[in-house]
Structures are given as C-alpha cells and as structure tokens.
Amino acid sequence: MKRNWIYFPFAGLVAVALLVWVAKQAFKSGERPPVEKPIEPPAPKVGSVPSPSAAPAVELHRFPGVIGPTNVSHIPPPPPTDWRRYSSGGTNRLAILLTEPDSAWLGLAHGLRTIGVPFVLTTNTAHALTHRVVLVYPQLSGAVLAAPELRALAAHPRTGGTLIAANVLGGGLEGIFGFAQAVPSKAHYEIGFPTQHPLTAGFTHPRERVIRVAEPKNPAAIAGTHHYTQPAVPPLAIYEDGSAAILLRPWEAGYACALGFDPGYLLLLGHNNREEGIARAYVNQFEPSLDVLLRLFKELYRAAAPAPVTLGTVPFGRQLPVLITHDVDYNRSLTNALAYAEFEASVGVRATYFTQVKYLRDFNDTAFFNDTAPPILQRLRALGHELASHTVCHSKVFSRFPLGTGTECYPDYQPFVRTPILTIGGSVLGELRASKFLLEKFGGQEIVSFRPGHLSNPYALPQALVATGYRHSSSVTANDSLTHLPFQLNHDRARAAETPVFEFPVTIEDEEQPPLGQRVQAALDVARELARYGGLMNVLIHPDITGHKLQFERDFVAALKPVAWFGTVNDFASWWAARNEVAVDVEVSANFAVVSLLVPQPLNGLTLQVPAGWRLQSFEPAGLKVTPADAGLVLDQVPPQARLVFRR
C-alpha cells in the first residue's frame, strides 16, 4: 500500500517557521523521552488546546477507506458506590462496623478484596458483634456510637472476640485497648514495627519494618493521625518519634487492636495515585507501605477468626505473577518487537504489547503506525501475545488533556505534539477511541488494556476507560502507588464511586540507569520480596533496541520461570477481576469446616489459603479438581458454586 500523506493548509510566516522547527525536531527524535512522571510545566498554556487557525501542517498516514470508531462514548455521572454492595456474607468474615459512611471505606474495602480477606460492611453494631472479628471504622468514639453500643463493643474482646478500631477517640474504651489518651498529631510520617511479634514476623525487609504514611517534609498532609499514650503493653507499631501508632492487647482468645490512623484514607492515597511525596522511590524498587497494612489485617484475621480462609493473589498458587509488558512507542520498536515476541513464544511466555498508534508525524517521531504495522500486529497476535493501546500521540501532558466529546474518530482525530508541554487537538477519549479502533482493525484482537505515554495519568482516565470499552489499566508505577498489589480504580481517582477497571502497576522499567542489562539481579531482588506475599511483578521493556534489554528478559524469565506465573495483562486482569467477585464463607462444627464458594465469573486456578492442619475430606461438585500448592489449595475451572469439607 502506498503512503498517503495529507497536507493541510497553513497560514502566515510564523506558522512556516514553526513547521520547519517542528520538522527538524521530528527528524532528530532518535530517542524516546523517558517514562518519567509528566513534567509540570509552569506556563498556563499546557495540555491539549484546540487547533488554532495558524496550526502547522499535519502529516498523517491514511489507511484508505478506514474511518472509525463510529459509536459514541458516553460517561454517565456515576452513582456513588453504596456500602451495601459489601454487606452480605457469613459470620466467619471480618465485620467492618462503619461508623461514618462519609469516609474512605471504599479504599479499605478494595484493599481487603485485594489481599483476599473475606469481610462484610455493616452500620449495625449488634450485627457486627455476631462476627468474631470486628473492625470499627473510621473511628470509635462516643460521637458516633451510643453508650449501649460502646459497652457491647467493649465486652467483645473479653468474650473471645477481636476488636480492631481505627482512631479510638473516646467512648470509655481506653482500658480495653490499653492506653491513657489518643493525641492528635500532624507530625507523623512513618510507622515502624520494632517488636518481635508473630503477626509482624513476615515483615523482614527494612521497608516492611518501617513504612511511609506521609511525606516527611509535609506530614500535615495526612488526615486523622493519632498516637496513644501510656500503652499497657509495648506497642505493635510506633511512629518515627517512638509514640504508639498501633496497640495490640491480647484478651481471652483474641485481641483489642487500636490503629492511630485511617487505613482507608492511606489506601486511597495510593490507589488514586495521589500519594505525592510519600513513596521512597518512583520505580524499580520495593515500596510495600500499603501491602504491609493489608498483610497485617490478613494476619490479624488469620489469628482471630474461627476458621480463617483467605484467597491467594497468584493464579495456580504460584509465588508471584509476572507480566512482561512492552511499550511500542518509537519508529523502530514495531520491528524490534518481533524479536522479543519470538523469544517469548519460544519459552511459553505470553506478553503484552502496548502499541502507540502513531499515524501523525510530530515533534516526537515519524508516523510509524503505517502500512508496516498490520503484518507485525498480526504476527504478535499469532504468537499468542496481547495487543494493547499506548495512545495515539504519546503526549507528556496527556494528564491535562480535556476529556473530549466521545465522537473522536480516525482520521479526523489529529492530536499534534508540538513541544513536550504543548499538544494541540488531543483529548482523553480521542486517545482511547482512535487507538483501540485501529489496533482492533489491524490486529484482529479486542483491545482491553491501556497504558498512557510517560504514565501521564488524567483524573478522568478510569471512567474514560470504561466508556471506551477498556477493562484493564497499567498507568502508574507500583512505587508511586505505595503497593505491589493490583487494585480497583475509582471514578475521577476519588473516593465515592468505584469503576469495574483494575490497575496493574509497573514494577520495573528500562530507562533508569544503569542500563537494564545490568539490572537483572536488582530486579530479581525485588521479585524475591514480592514472592513472599504474592506481589505483582510487572516489567516494562521498550523494544526500541534488542541487545542488553532482550538479554535482560532472557535472564529474568529463566530465573523466575520455575516459581512464577506468567501471562498477559488481560490474562491476569481477567483472572483478578473474577477472583474479586468470589464469595468465601465457612461454617464450623467441632471437627469440621465447610467452605462455600460463590464464583460468579469463570475462574481458573483460584488459590484458597486454609489453616495448617486442615485435611480436605470431600468436595462438590465431584468433578472439581483440587491440587495442593505451596500457598494453599488450587482449584481448577472453578464452578459457579463449590463446597469443600475439611476435617480440622
């Protein structure tokens, strides 16, 4: 097919000069800008602006007869997520007694789903107390609970229950938790676990022993932090000044546990990518601050629930999930991608190719999404890999693009990157729509995963992804999200309304120094930490070159193949979304525990974590395949309902 360049008229000498300059820049662009946070430009005219009358000439690759998409993308105003969505389930679950529905409970709910602890939300104290393990959130005080409720909660640890509470601010329960006073402070930024305790024994890395909860230079940014004075037993966790952050007082068969902070708020800071300055790294390192909190909840639940059964985070009970992801965003990358793809197929690894659909020439590069692209896309697909979107124009200021109309289509949609901080004519919906349309047209595969250029992350991205038919996002780094676990995204990256899209953050990238080929051991070191709790290893390799980057991948895959599960973003994300809807309930009798599973979506390779010493006696349906693995029991091809009977 012959290239068809379209020339648009331009006006005035200024535009001519600009065009010459832009063209020079385009030819110079041998290297891609790094995958850094978008530059925050000082000038007011940033982001994407409509085409001015003096727009430079646009050179566009036209695929004859190809126009689309023809549908309209619509973003309805979201109904706030009702806490009752999380209100059903049996008494073996953790009960969250919600004392203020206008709080960050959605972050807590998403976090517990992620770590695999079954829970229910309730606003009814009597109902909560039918559960052995109760978490009062976001505060426990006389301001939010009546005196009889406070008395009933106080009795819970004395009668075999476990009472966990965030921000114990009164109500006369100081003695139960074992402190004199809760003192508000806006100076705290770190929480450390100084003592040897079975619940925190798994926190062995220095970044697990001490986690970040605020920016050291700006600790006041965190809301609702307290410390507890005169602890009756040595605190489980302390702030950087030694004051008590988490109290854990043993009672009868359980505990009274007081947190001096709001865990839902912290989870939302990370999940919403609003952690500014808290994380100790941007990428390539181990930053488990939120994971430590979630694992602490899981350990507490396992220690205190009558029959704790939790869900593993890795398909088929493997030690960690590994996603090999490629950003194809440079004129030589499409061809180089084949070298990676052939290698991956030869070792049975399916990877994800986030491909920039660059049909316009601009400041960044040539219009490399041209007639050479379709055969390469088809080969990638034939090798078993996932095709995914990496935008049309790969703008550094994508995060500031207007939302768009939802009618953008190829070839009329023409975002033009003029400088690193100025793109003309781009929109969030336009980037999503036009790239998905062309990749589907020429790749022959439904496009469901998205990653922005430079991980430039608009607030409207979650709902824009939903509106344009995407299901999975990989748009942030793990370090910048304070977690190595996937999480569910909220509308506007805020706290009121969840979307069905999950985020799979980037763990390792290839543009920091030293060169990737020299970082195999460093990446494996991070993988080793993640394997201890099933954290996600999402590796981003640009196929701009082969050489040391391809060698890295060969060495990395060889080292992890024996222990890791490998798959595409869509493979893992589909598994994750199905796992997210699994309901686990347990009925116990003297010698037996009956585990009931409701699995509304098809799911293969679910891992059930049951207490040591449980012996599987029988299960239904009879054809269910149950296999022991390191991390628990693996269920193949899980039916919509299953029942497992254990002797305990």
Choice between 506 and 642, CB closer to Zn ion: 506
Cβ 453 to Zn ion shortest distance, Å:
4
**Footprint of Zn ion on residues 522-541 (CB under 5 A)?**
none
Cβ 324 to Zn ion shortest distance, Å:
16
Cβ 111 to Zn ion shortest distance, Å:
29
Choice between 208 and 327, CB closer to Zn ion: 327
Cβ 320 to Zn ion shortest distance, Å:
25
The pattern of x and - marking residues 226 through 245 that bind Zn ion according to CB under 5 A reads --------------------
Choice between 420 and 611, CB closer to Zn ion: 420
Cβ 359 to Zn ion shortest distance, Å:
16
By the 8 A CB rule, do 488 and 462 touch?
no
262 binds Zn ion, rule: CB under 5 A: no
Cβ 368 to Zn ion shortest distance, Å:
13
327 binds Zn ion, rule: CB under 5 A: yes
Choice between 358 and 471, CB closer to Zn ion: 358
Choice between 167 and 473, CB closer to Zn ion: 473
**Footprint of Zn ion on residues 584-603 (CB under 5 A)?**
none
Cβ 450 to Zn ion shortest distance, Å:
12
What ranges in 305-406 are assigned the alpha helix state H?
A: 333-346, 373-382
What ranges in 383-472 are assigned the alpha helix state H?
A: 428-443, 461-467
Cβ 431 to Zn ion shortest distance, Å:
12
**What residue has token string 């004395």?**
158
Q: Which of 144-152, 266-274, 447-455, 557-565 is the region at the interface with Zn ion (rule: CB under 5 A)?
A: 447-455
Choice between 419 and 596, CB closer to Zn ion: 419
Pairing mode of beta strands 422-424, 133-137: unpaired
Q: Reply yes or no: is the peptide bond before residue 138 cis, omega within 30 of 0.
A: yes
By the 8 A CB rule, do 524 and 621 touch?
no
Choice between 327 and 386, CB closer to Zn ion: 327
Choice between 173 and 541, CB closer to Zn ion: 541
Choice between 398 and 575, CB closer to Zn ion: 398
Cβ 456 to Zn ion shortest distance, Å:
10
Cβ 641 to Zn ion shortest distance, Å:
43
Q: Which of 131-139, 319-327, 360-368, 493-501 is the region at the interface with Zn ion (rule: CB under 5 A)?
A: 319-327
Q: Which of 57-65, 291-299, 433-441, 453-461 is the region at the interface with Zn ion (rule: CB under 5 A)?
A: 453-461
Cβ 63 to Zn ion shortest distance, Å:
22
Choice between 140 and 393, CB closer to Zn ion: 393
- Residue 122 tokens read as 């309730």
Measuring CA to CA, how many Å separate 56 from each of 19, 352, 358, 401?
6, 35, 17, 19
Choice between 113 and 454, CB closer to Zn ion: 454
Choice between 455 and 577, CB closer to Zn ion: 455
- Residue 69 tokens read as 């998409």
Q: Which of 76-84, 322-330, 378-386, 416-424 is the region at the interface with Zn ion (rule: CB under 5 A)?
A: 322-330
Which residue(s) pair with 564 in the sheet?
320
Cβ 336 to Zn ion shortest distance, Å:
14
**Footprint of Zn ion on residues 477-516 (CB under 5 A)?**
none
By the 8 A CB rule, do 390 and 32 touch?
no
Cβ 129 to Zn ion shortest distance, Å:
52
365 binds Zn ion, rule: CB under 5 A: no
Cβ 42 to Zn ion shortest distance, Å:
24
Given 425, 453, 535, 543, the residue binding Zn ion (CB under 5 A): 453
E-strand ranges in 174-241 read 182-184, 190-192, 210-212, 226-228, 237-239
Choice between 314 and 508, CB closer to Zn ion: 508
By the 8 A CB rule, do 485 and 313 touch?
yes
Q: Which of 194-202, 280-288, 408-416, 449-457 is the region at the interface with Zn ion (rule: CB under 5 A)?
A: 449-457
Binding residues for Zn ion, rule CB under 5 A, total 3
User: In sequence order, what DSSP letters do the residues of 545-575 get, joined into one string?
Assistant: --HHHHHHHHHHHHHHTTTEEEE-HHHHHHH
Q: Determine the Cα angle at 101 with ends 97 and 102, to 5°.
A: 145
481: left (phi over 0), alpha (psi -120 to 50) or beta: alpha
Measuring CA to CA, how many Å separate 526 from each of 34, 451, 520?
22, 22, 10
Q: Which of 328-336, 496-504, 559-567, 631-639 is the region at the interface with Zn ion (rule: CB under 5 A)?
A: 328-336
**Footprint of Zn ion on residues 147-206 (CB under 5 A)?**
none
Q: Which of 411-419, 451-459, 532-540, 608-616 is the region at the interface with Zn ion (rule: CB under 5 A)?
A: 451-459
Choice between 426 and 453, CB closer to Zn ion: 453
Q: Which residues, at least 6 apart from 99, have a Cβ–Cβ distance to it below 8 Å?
A: 123, 136, 137, 138, 139, 140, 144, 145
By the 8 A CB rule, do 559 and 553 touch?
no
What is the rounded CA–CA span in Å between residue 530 and residue 483?
10
Instruction: Name the closest residue to Zn ion (Cβ).
Output: 329
Stretch (H or E) spanning 137: strand 133-137
What residue type is 337 in one-letter code? A
Query: Could you tell me which of 546, 515, 31 has the C-alpha nearest to residue 336?
Result: 546
Given 329, 344, 431, 480, the residue binding Zn ion (CB under 5 A): 329
**Cβ atoms < 10 Å from Cβ of 55:** 20
Query: Could you tell me which of 357, 491, 362, 361 has the C-alpha nearest to residue 433?
Result: 357
φ, ψ dihedrals at 423, nearest 5°: -120, 135
**Cβ atoms < 10 Å from Cβ of 500:** 12
- The residues binding Zn ion (CB under 5 A) are 327, 329, 453
